[in-house]
Structure 1
């Protein structure tokens, strides 16, 4: 076990780095940039201002802001004041923002002047980081000295709830501190590295993009707002800035690989893929296109970003799926059957996660917290609802969602199982149940790639009742804001 110092909070690692490389460029956005000392000074001024407003340990501060330098200042300013930030994506519908602000009861909200009009009128102190900066800039710019413990909250991220109401996942400092130190130990960034920040900050996959470079003296390149799925723009930024590390969902990676210019992104050294199943075909295309490493990463928000990773270069030619790999440092994995007994290698079971990466729970939802975070084997475990199995080599293979189980004509069907079979022949797939005529449920498979001969190929591996009634070929999959397949938008 690596002995990471977990007493230190995220912003303290950053402050340590500022001492070492004060004049290095920390962050670039469009034609603006800040050095490490400039970013630190601004974040400190904001922190002192927030402390004056009563922000301290475990006080929640809303951050509703477009990608910009202010976004980075806002995040560090809240952490340095001791608060926990809640990212609120300005692209969300007002009703959703209203729910998140009401639920989190954030007493302070940081935003930009142009966004104030679309924010719900709640009993929250609103600070505009652009137009109110003259006032904030009157504060001192030294590092605030505050009482903060590793178990205090760092951020709360709202994820979709099966009830239709988003739920706030509470992550403390030691969890994120462990993740960032594991990352720097396993995939060390040098001062010459440049990381592209393009994932919407309301998804926890964005967190390594922000902090991985800034805790070690590397450079953060911030993408323009709303262009995180524009492949022309992303490729241009990667080339112009010499970006060395990028994260992408398989859907976005697919779009990048379809662009002939992507092969000219020769500065890329590492690409992290996650959020959906990565196909063997997509992995092969990437490794044939670029001389870079591709890592398949898996982890729910409830266990702090990443729980397992796999270097796809290790995959044998015969393999028909890309594993999600092995646990990161200080994460514990248990694959259990319905009776909560550990299953043997090769047998599918529900993935349970333990270790210090676990969230504190769901904000204001003790019922849901108790249902999802259970005590077993003398420790707290998170029930992921994901169906996985151990391969003979000790790596974990993702099969699908346990609750992705549907019933058609009395048969219980795992949609993930059908998708994994089709995935061997196409680059992307989504299988859903359609009921266009009441009472007539049927399976429909949507693919990117040719459907010629696909039905026969699927029939060769699956029983008849699991063979989709229809196969639909699409040029590209509809995507949600965080780059996952938007199943509701399938034609």
Structure 2
């Protein structure tokens, strides 16, 4: 066979691609003994690219074209390959045998990709599918056969795929080709195949060779130092009063002594049930000084969820504000702060010395079992996370932090501790003004810094808050249009991280260069990207994979009926290291988030690999929504929760799809009547779960669509939701739909 002519390829591109002249980025050879392994080159290369593509772009099915370029002929052959984790190499090759039947002199594959970096398939030529029918040429592989094996040239336009990433893909392809050519992987499952080359492995380890150090002082001790050095500086400015650092230290110490007399000490949890108030920081620091574990409870949490949370650890009592609901006393013994303030401040010797490894914080998030999931942070985790926030934002005595987050969220405690660590002032608005980020209240408190979800930031008018200088976004993926709205008005930060390891990544937002999903990095943890189906397979920079986190910001453990070991792993590649960098034992947290990591360790967040979503900044487990909805339905029917964007609407809403089988009679006019009867009981959900856990709409279906791998086809459900208008959803006039199975995920 002769080497394919690049000129013939160039004639093909102007008709199909916007970029007419891709540039060469690299070339490589694969040495093959044709007598020992008489493989058909087309199948070999297609198999390698099917594996690399599915791992690089997290796809279980690949669609591409095999373009055969000869001296006088050009043939474009469509190929479809299933590449799920249960597929093995032999099965993949058999799929290709039935589709690739032409002998040729070269190979050209082209990849069709969906919007937002979620491709439909992968090939050597990569580019999104635009409206005009032409693609931006991203990646071209030119392959020719020689006596010693195969020779490849790689071309890219560089507009979407950077040169370094194109080279990494080429190195992964070369590695796979060499392994495939000699039959070393014949019976190997695709999820057990590593695609990272030795060079790319060394690059990742060079960045992650040393685990970052934790902060060495508990947060309350650093805050107390401010009380000694700047006693009259304002620490808290709240709607119901203010504290200087001296006063904050004094009252929190008196409270700590009272708590100790009531038996609070190491590993004793004290729930704090308050509306927004100057007394919450006193309560937090008081519990910390006593050596206990504080658990913030928002006043808006329903009784049912509060009861579920308190049943996990069964605390001896709770600290409350004067406005605590009467039902709280039915669940746990209660004291107000004033009940426990010690009058004897001479007993300071009773205040224990806290170690960094001691439990400090307990918080609850959405759990997959239908029960709240408890998370425990040590003093080390709290102090390290909050000090990193203060450092990134350059907080100091000049900072006046407006508190917006509900007390049940981890952000609220970090708002509190970070600004106090920096010697700044925490500005606490009334409950309703904080949740809605009232511009008038923000200005009245002279706040110059705030944490907002992108949804809140989008709704706030920059002209209404001239005192605001710093805006930090957290809780949702930050979209470009929100960045543009605030450009030139504030210094904007973007933070990313789950409650288990809150500040995995952060960046100062550059309005000119910012891309949706970009999260940056931090200095307090290491970020590893692995195959989402197999955490023992490390991925190269640039590939989409699951994020694993290592370092001193990780939660200590879960509490309650939660499998502690499941999210923590110590992968084999961590033990092995790489040439020049020793391996180690470690404890890595599996986030379940899909990300890309660039050469500098900066993350771009792609989405979730499971069923957890974010609603108004709170992570919600869809399986918990499903569990709670089932509890209150009149009939036992299937329930699948999903986020949908109805037709004519721009924001996602939480929907519950209800499986109304063929045996359930429907009204001849509309299923509205039977649906209304079916969901009558779900009104009681508000007594048991937060508003974010309650579906906005209920959609009846005859069956749930499935993927080829037997999983719920969530993409199909989202498409179904997108086909309905808000008016139809609101009126309940929903035609009961029969969703058919599709192969897309």
Within the alignment, does 1:283 sit opposite 2:483 as a pair? yes
CA–CA separation in structure 2 for the residues paired with 1:116 and 1:339 = 48
CA–CA separation in structure 2 for the residues paired with 1:178 and 1:53 = 30
Q: CA 1:396–1:66 in structure 2 vs 1: closer, same or farther (change >3 Å)? A: same
Within the alignment, does 1:39 sit opposite 2:241 as a pair? no
Within the alignment, does 1:360 sit opposite 2:570 as a pair? no
CA–CA separation in structure 2 for the residues paired with 1:4 and 1:37 = 31
CA–CA separation in structure 2 for the residues paired with 1:161 and 1:40 = 36
CA–CA separation in structure 2 for the residues paired with 1:143 and 1:316 = 55
For each residue in 1:342-398, what CA deviation from the matched residue of structure 2 results, as whole angstroms up to 9, or x when unmatched? 222332111111111111111134x52111122222211111111112246642211
SS in 2 for 1:107: coil
For each residue in 1:58-84, what CA deviation from the matched residue of structure 2 results, as whole angstroms up to 9, or x when unmatched? 211111111111111111100011111
Which residue in the other structure is 1:52 paired with? 261
SS in 1 for 2:560: coil
For each residue in 1:39-67, what CA deviation from the matched residue of structure 2 results, as whole angstroms up to 9, or x when unmatched? 11110100011111121122111111111
Which residue in the other structure is 1:207 paired with? 413
Which residue in the other structure is 1:268 paired with? 468
CA–CA separation in structure 1 for the residues paired with 2:546 and 2:342 = 49
Which residue in the other structure is 1:482 paired with? none
For each residue in 1:246-281, what CA deviation from the matched residue of structure 2 results, as whole angstroms up to 9, or x when unmatched? 00111111211xx4xx32422222211111111111
Q: Rg: which structure is higher?
A: 2
Aligned counterpart in structure 1 of residue 510 of structure 2, from 313, 316, 339: 313
Which residue in the other structure is 2:569 paired with? 374
Which residue in the other structure is 1:248 paired with? 452
Within the alignment, does 1:331 sit opposite 2:525 as a pair? yes
SS in 2 for 1:41: helix
- Per the TM alignment, residue 299 of structure 1 is displaced from its structure 2 partner at its CA by 0.7
Which residue in the other structure is 2:541 paired with? 345
CA–CA separation in structure 2 for the residues paired with 1:242 and 1:472 = 45
Which residue in the other structure is 1:410 paired with? none
CA–CA separation in structure 1 for the residues paired with 2:365 and 2:654 = 23
Within the alignment, does 1:297 sit opposite 2:481 as a pair? no
CA–CA separation in structure 1 for the residues paired with 2:652 and 2:416 = 31
- Per the TM alignment, residue 468 of structure 1 is displaced from its structure 2 partner at its CA by 5.5
Within the alignment, does 1:129 sit opposite 2:337 as a pair? yes
SS in 2 for 1:324: strand
For each residue in 1:160-196, what CA deviation from the matched residue of structure 2 results, as whole angstroms up to 9, or x when unmatched? 1122200110000111111222223322222122001
CA–CA separation in structure 2 for the residues paired with 1:154 and 1:465 = 42
For each residue in 1:226-260, what CA deviation from the matched residue of structure 2 results, as whole angstroms up to 9, or x when unmatched? 333334xx21122223212100111111211xx4x
CA contact (8 A) 2:407 2:413 kept: yes
CA–CA separation in structure 1 for the residues paired with 2:374 and 2:259 = 22
Q: CA 1:465–1:203 in structure 2 vs 1: closer, same or farther (change >3 Å)? A: closer
Q: How does 1:46-445 map to 2 (within 5 A)?
A: 46-115=255-324, 117-122=326-331, 124-130=332-338, 132=339, 136-140=342-346, 145-231=351-437, 234-256=438-460, 259=461, 262-287=462-487, 290-303=488-501, 305-313=502-510, 316=513, 319=515, 321-326=516-521, 328-337=522-531, 338-340=533-535, 341-365=537-561, 368-376=563-571, 377=574, 378-391=585-598, 394-404=601-611, 428-429=651-652, 434=657, 436-439=699-702
CA–CA separation in structure 2 for the residues paired with 1:474 and 1:29 = 40
Where does structure 2 lack aligned partners over 5 or more consecutive residues? 1-209, 575-584, 613-621, 623-641, 659-698, 707-714, 728-745
- Per the TM alignment, residue 339 of structure 1 is displaced from its structure 2 partner at its CA by 2.1
SS in 2 for 1:313: coil
CA contact (8 A) 1:26 1:34 kept: yes
CA–CA separation in structure 2 for the residues paired with 1:229 and 1:241 = 15
For each residue in 1:177-232, what CA deviation from the matched residue of structure 2 results, as whole angstroms up to 9, or x when unmatched? 1122222332222212200112112111112210122123211110112333334x
CA–CA separation in structure 2 for the residues paired with 1:60 and 1:110 = 11
- Per the TM alignment, residue 115 of structure 1 is displaced from its structure 2 partner at its CA by 1.3
CA–CA separation in structure 2 for the residues paired with 1:247 and 1:474 = 31
Q: CA RMSD in A?
A: 3.1
TM-score by length of 2: 0.53
Q: CA 1:8–1:427 in structure 2 vs 1: closer, same or farther (change >3 Å)? A: farther
Q: CA 1:126–1:172 in structure 2 vs 1: closer, same or farther (change >3 Å)? A: same
- Per the TM alignment, residue 310 of structure 1 is displaced from its structure 2 partner at its CA by 2.1
SS in 2 for 1:226: helix
- Per the TM alignment, residue 431 of structure 1 is displaced from its structure 2 partner at its CA by 8.2
CA–CA separation in structure 1 for the residues paired with 2:248 and 2:381 = 24
SS in 2 for 1:370: coil
CA contact (8 A) 1:156 1:168 kept: yes
CA contact (8 A) 2:267 2:359 kept: yes
CA–CA separation in structure 2 for the residues paired with 1:61 and 1:142 = 21
CA contact (8 A) 1:63 1:88 kept: yes
Q: CA 1:152–1:434 in structure 2 vs 1: closer, same or farther (change >3 Å)? A: same
Where does structure 1 lack aligned partners over 5 or more consecutive residues? 407-414, 444-462, 476-491
CA contact (8 A) 1:194 1:221 kept: yes
Q: CA 1:139–1:379 in structure 2 vs 1: closer, same or farther (change >3 Å)? A: same
* Ranges of 4+ aligned residues in structure 1 off by more than 4 Å: 1-5, 138-144, 391-394, 425-435, 440-443, 463-469, 471-475
Q: CA 1:4–1:384 in structure 2 vs 1: closer, same or farther (change >3 Å)? A: closer
